[in-house]
């Protein structure tokens, strides 16, 4: 009889994989073209090109609160994610296009949000790299720590809701219903990182990040000339029992 894989075993495995992973801030035109190619390849393989009604690159990619990342495994681009830091004063986000009333309600309550979008992974590698969703979405948790955000959103198709509830302790904000700008059913979920942040980092320590990693990922100071070429995940370097720069409490 085989021994079941525990959460601890899984987390340890992903911590080991992090040794071979780098993140890159995508800000140059050349890198954006590479991201566009990956999005096309991923969406075409899954027959979801229609979910990008404004094109594979759009104005939201270049918004001042948008952060596009590539995940590189052994130096090869394998996945990408775009994050928006959404505030009551700056409301640009992917989720707002489908569920504006729900988003306005969160923002009118004074909450700040991290809204991941444009997840794409190389379809030729996803079967052999089952950890890709976890580490591709990892920057959303790093962003919550850096920006001290109140919620991390999950704008997803209803069949994927169970994953976000299980892994990210997400609550349903809008049950699955037709999103007119996509033409399919979508749901909006949210992780209350103030309530479950410590629980999340304890269960999945590969989400932990140091203050230096967070700055490399998200700092945009006026004197910053060029973004860092690559960003090394720091979860393995944070002393055991500590949480780096913790999620909001």
Give the rounded percent of residues in the chain with a pLDDT score beyond 70: 89
Query: Residues, the chain, total?
Result: 249
Tens-digit pLDDT profile for residues 137-191: 999 999 999 999 999 999 999 999 999 999 999 999 999 988 877 778 999 999 9
Tens-digit pLDDT profile for residues 16-72: 999 999 999 998 888 999 999 999 999 998 887 666 666 789 899 999 999 999 999
The answer to whether residue 2 scores a pLDDT higher than 60 is no
Query: Domain 7-220 carries which CATH code?
Result: 3.40.630.30
Q: Given its phi and psi angles, is residue 47 left (phi above 0), alpha (psi -120 to 50 degrees) or beta?
A: left
pTM for the full predicted model: 0.91
CA 199 to CA 23: how far, in whole Å? 25
Please answer whether residues 233 and 21 qualify as being in contact, where contact means their C-beta atoms are separated by less than 8 angstroms.
yes
Please answer whether residues 109 and 31 qualify as being in contact, where contact means their C-beta atoms are separated by less than 8 angstroms.
no
Q: Residue 50 has what pLDDT?
A: 67
Phi, then psi, of 26 in degrees rounded to 5: -95, 105
Please tell me what DSSP assigns to residue 205: G
Please answer whether residues 14 and 206 qualify as being in contact, where contact means their C-beta atoms are separated by less than 8 angstroms.
yes
The answer to whether residue 4 scores a pLDDT higher than 60 is no
């Amino acid at each position: 009889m085989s021994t079941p894989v525990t959460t601890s075993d899984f987390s340890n495995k992903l911590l080991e994989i992090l040794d071979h992973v780098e993140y890159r801030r995508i800000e140059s035109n050349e890198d954006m073209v590479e991201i566009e190619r990956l999005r096309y390849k991923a969406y075409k393989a899954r027959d979801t090109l229609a979910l990008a009604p404004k094109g594979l690159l759009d104005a939201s990619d270049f918004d001042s609160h948008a952060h596009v990342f590539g995940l590189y495994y052994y130096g090869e681009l394998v996945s990408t994610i775009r994050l928006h830091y959404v505030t009551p004063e700056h409301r640009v986000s992917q989720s707002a296009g489908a569920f504006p009333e729900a988003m306005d309600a969160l923002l009118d309550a004074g909450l700040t949000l991290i809204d991941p979008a444009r997840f794409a992974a190389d379809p030729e590698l996803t079967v052999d790299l089952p950890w890709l969703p976890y580490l591709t979405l990892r920057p959303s948790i790093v962003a919550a720590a850096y920006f001290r955000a109140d919620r991390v959103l999950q704008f997803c198709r209803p069949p994927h809701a169970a994953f976000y509830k299980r892994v990210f302790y997400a609550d349903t904000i809008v049950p699955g219903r037709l999103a007119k700008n996509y033409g399919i059913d979508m749901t909006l979920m949210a992780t209350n990182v103030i309530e479950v942040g410590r629980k999340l980092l304890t269960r999945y320590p590969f989400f932990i990040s140091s203050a230096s990693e967070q700055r490399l990922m998200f700092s945009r100071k006026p004197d910053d000339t060029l973004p860092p070429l690559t960003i090394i995940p720091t979860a393995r370097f944070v002393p055991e029992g500590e949480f780096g720069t913790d999620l909001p409490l």
